[in-house]
Amino acid sequence: MGAVVRADRDGPNQPLLSPKHNIAVNRSEDFIYKFWVETQKLWLIVGPSIFSRVASFSMNIITQAFAGHLGDVELASISIANTVIVGFNFGLLLGMASALETLCGQAFGARRYHMLGIYLQRSWIVLTLCCFFLLPVYFYATPLLKLLGQADDVAEQSGVVVLWLIPLHFSFAFQFPLQRFLQCQLKTQVIAWVSLAGLVVNIVASWVLIYVLELGVIGAAIALDISWWVLVLGLYIYTVGGWCPLTWTGFSVQAFHGLWDFTKLSAAAGLMLCSENWYYRILVLMTGNLKNATVAVDALSICMSINGWEMMIPLAFFAGVGVRVANELGAGNGKEAKFATIVAVAQSTVIGVVICVVIMVLHDKIALIFTTSSSVVEAVGTLSSLLAITILLNSIQPVLSGVAVGSGWQSWVAYINIGCYYVIGLPLGFIMEWVLHSGVLGIWGGMIFGGTAVQTIILVIITVRTNWDREAEKAQEHVEEWTSPQQNDKPLLA
C-alpha cells in the first residue's frame, strides 16, 4: 500500500501518512520547535548585547567622524591613538574580563548565585592592577609610534591625544566585568539602556567640546572619556542598588582570596582575545610604513572601524553563546550546549552574509561617513572586497570563540590564535608587502587568508569533534567541588 491511503476505501479515520513519514514529520517539528526555543533564549542575550555593543562602539565611530572633518592629520592621530594604543589595552582587558563568562555562567547554571558577586569583585581588582601596569604605554606613546614607523606629525599628535584617553583606559577595568556579570544572569536590558544613554552623552559632548568650546581633537578624546564613564556608573548603580539581590550581597574580603588562580584564568582569556584584537592593530601599524601613509592609514582605519562596528554583532553572539553554553554545562546538559552552538553559528553566519552584500553594493560610498577626501574614499572602495571577506569570517570565528569561553577552553584557543595569527598570518602579510610589494591589499589579504581563515577552520574542527557529554561531566565535577565549604572561596576553574 502507498504512503497515502484512500479515505473512501479505508474509512475517514485512517492515517493519511505512513508511520515512518509521521516520525519524520514529528522530528522535523521537534527540531523547529527546539530551534525556536533556543533562538528565544539566545536572543534574550544577543539582542540587547548587539544594541549595547553597537552603541558603545558607535561612540568611537562618532569621535573619528568628528576628527575626520577637522583634517587628515587629526583623523590619523585619533585613529592611531584609539585604534593602536587604547585598542591594544582594550583587547587585553576585554579578554581578561571574559573569564567571567566562564566563571559566572557556570556558577549561575549551578545555582551558586552568591559567587557571581565575588567573581565580579575579583575581576575589578585584577583588571585595575593591570591598568596600572599598562600606563607606560600611554606615557611613551609618541616615541613608540615613531619607532614603529609612523609619520612624525601623526605620532606626536597621537601621543598628546592618548594622554587624554587615560580615564577611558581605567573605565574598561570596571565596565567589562559589570557587563559580563549582568549578561550571565540574563539582565541584558539594563546594559542596552545604559549604552543608549552613553551614546547620547557622547554625541552631545563631542559637539560641545569640538565646535562650541573649540578644543579640537582633544575635545573628542574628552568626550570619549565622559561617555564611557557614564556606562560604568549606570551599570554600577544598577548592580549595587538592589536590582541583583541574589548575586550581589555586598563587598566581601572573599574577593581577595584565590586571586592568583583567578588571574591565571583571566590572563588566558585575555591572551585568547587580545591576540586577535592586536592582530588587526598591527595591520594598521604596518600600513603606516607604506608610501603615502596618511591616506593608507586613513583608509584602513575607516575599514577597521566599519569592521569593528559590524563586529559588535558576532561579539554579541560571542557573549550569548558563551552564556548559553556555560549555563547548560553548569546544569549538566551537554546536548543542549551543543544545540546552542549550532543555532548561534547558523544565525550569525546568515547576518554576516547579508552585511557582506551591503558592503559590496555600497563600496564607493561607505567612506563618506568619515571623510570627504576623494583619495581616502577611493582607497576605501579598493579595500571593500577584503573588508567583506573579513566580515564573513568574523561572523563565524568569534561565535566559536564564545563556545570556547563558555566551555573553559581559553588556554587552547590562545595557543591557536598565536599560531595562526603570528606564525602564519603576520609573516605572510609581511612577505606580501616587503617582498612582493603588493601594498595594503597584500598585507591585509595575507593576514586574512593566512591567519583568520586558518584559525576559523581549526575552531570549526575542534567544535565539531567535541564530546559535549564529557564537557558537561567536567562541569558537574566542578559543581561537586563547590558544595564543599572549603571550596567556596576558590575560583570555579582553579
With a cut of 80, say whether residue 151 has pLDDT above it. Answer: no
Q: What is the spatial distance between Cα 395 and Cα 406, in angstroms, rounded to a whole number?
A: 18
Lowest mean pLDDT among 2-11, 426-435, 461-470: 2-11
- With contact defined as beta carbons under 8 Å apart, do 192 and 319 qualify? no
Q: What is the spatial distance between Cα 260 and Cα 129, in angstroms, rounded to a whole number?
A: 13
Q: What is the spatial distance between Cα 459 and Cα 396, in angstroms, rounded to a whole number?
A: 9
Specify the pLDDT at position 245: 92
Query: pLDDT per residue over 65-115, tens digit each?
Result: 787 777 767 777 787 787 777 877 787 887 788 888 878 887 887 788 888
Query: pLDDT per residue over 332-378, tens digit each?
Result: 888 899 999 999 999 999 999 999 999 888 877 777 777 777 888 88
Lowest mean pLDDT among 4-18, 32-46, 140-154, 167-181: 4-18
State the angle between helix axes of 397-407 and 334-361 in degrees (0 to 180), rounded to the nearest 10: 160
Q: What is the spatial distance between Cα 290 and Cα 271, in angstroms, rounded to a whole number?
A: 29
Which of 132, 102, 26, 128 is CA-nearest to residue 478?
A: 102
Specify the pLDDT at position 350: 94
What predicted TM-score, i.e. pTM, was given to this entire model?
A: 0.77
Q: Which position has the higher pLDDT, 290 or 108?
A: 108
With a cut of 80, say whether residue 5 has pLDDT above it. Answer: no
Q: How far apart are the first and last CA of the chain?
A: 63
Mean pLDDT of 463-475: 86
Query: pLDDT per residue over 122-135, tens digit each?
Result: 999 999 999 999 99
Confidence of residue 288 (pLDDT cuts 50, 70, 90): low
Query: pLDDT per residue over 305-327, tens digit each?
Result: 788 778 888 888 988 898 898 88
Lowest mean pLDDT among 10-19, 48-57, 137-146, 229-238: 10-19
Handedness of CA 400, 401, 406, 407 (dihedral sign): positive
Q: What is the spatial distance between Cα 180 and Cα 184, in angstroms, rounded to a whole number?
A: 6
Q: What is the spatial distance between Cα 211 and Cα 228, in angstroms, rounded to a whole number?
A: 20
Which of 370, 395, 389 is CA-nearest to residue 380?
A: 370
Question: Could you tell me the three cell numbers for 286?
Answer: 604596518
Residue 459 contacts by C-beta under 8 Å, 6 or more apart in sequence? 397, 400, 401, 404, 413, 416
Query: pLDDT per residue over 33-45, tens digit each?
Result: 889 999 998 998 8
Q: Which position has the higher pLDDT, 494 or 248?
A: 248
Confidence of residue 19 (pLDDT cuts 50, 70, 90): low
Question: Could you tell me the three cell numbers for 182?
Answer: 549582568
Specify the pLDDT at position 491: 39
Question: Could you tell me the three cell numbers for 3?
Answer: 504512503
Average pLDDT of every residue of the chain: 81
With a cut of 80, say whether residue 279 has pLDDT above it. Answer: no
Mean pLDDT of 222-246: 94
Specify the pLDDT at position 484: 43
Q: What is the spatial distance between Cα 262 and Cα 250, in angstroms, rounded to a whole number?
A: 20
With a cut of 80, say whether residue 278 has pLDDT above it. Answer: no
